[in-house]
Amino acid sequence: MHRANRIAAQLAPQARTSPALTEHKADQGSPLIQLHPAVAEALARGGPVVALESTIISHGMPYPQNVETAREVEAIVRHNGAVPATIAILNGAIRIGLADEELEQLGRAGLSAQKVSRRDIASCVAQKLVGATTVSATMLLAHMAGIRVFVTGGCGGVHRGDAMDVSADLTELGRTPVAVVCAGIKSILDIPRSLEYLETMGVSVLTVGSNEFPAFFSRASGVKAPRTVAAEGAARTIAGGLQVHHALDLAHGTLVAVPIPEADDFGKEIDSYVNAALVEADEKGVKGADITPFLLDKVNKLTAGRSLTANIALVKNNAEVGAGIAVELSKLENPNPGELPEPGAPNLFAYNRA
pLDDT at position 340, please?
Answer: 52
182-214 pLDDT, tens digit per residue, is 999 988 889 999 999 999 999 999 999 999 999
287-345 pLDDT, tens digit per residue, is 777 777 788 889 999 999 999 999 999 999 999 999 999 999 999 998 665 455 444 44
List the one residue out of 317, 309, 40 whose CA is nearest residue 151.
Answer: 317
Q: What is the pTM of this model?
A: 0.87
| 3-state SS class at 151 | strand
Chain centroid to Cα 102, Å, comes to 19
138-179 pLDDT, tens digit per residue, is 999 999 999 999 999 999 999 887 767 899 999 999 999 999
From the candidates 186, 298, 316, 328, which is the catalytic residue?
186
pLDDT at position 335, please?
Answer: 60
> Does residue 186 have an active-site annotation?
yes
Contact 77, 39 (CB under 8 A): no
Ordered alpha helix ranges (H), the chain: 3-11, 37-44, 55-58, 65-79, 100-109, 121-126, 135-145, 168-173, 191-200, 234-247, 269-284, 291-302, 306-333
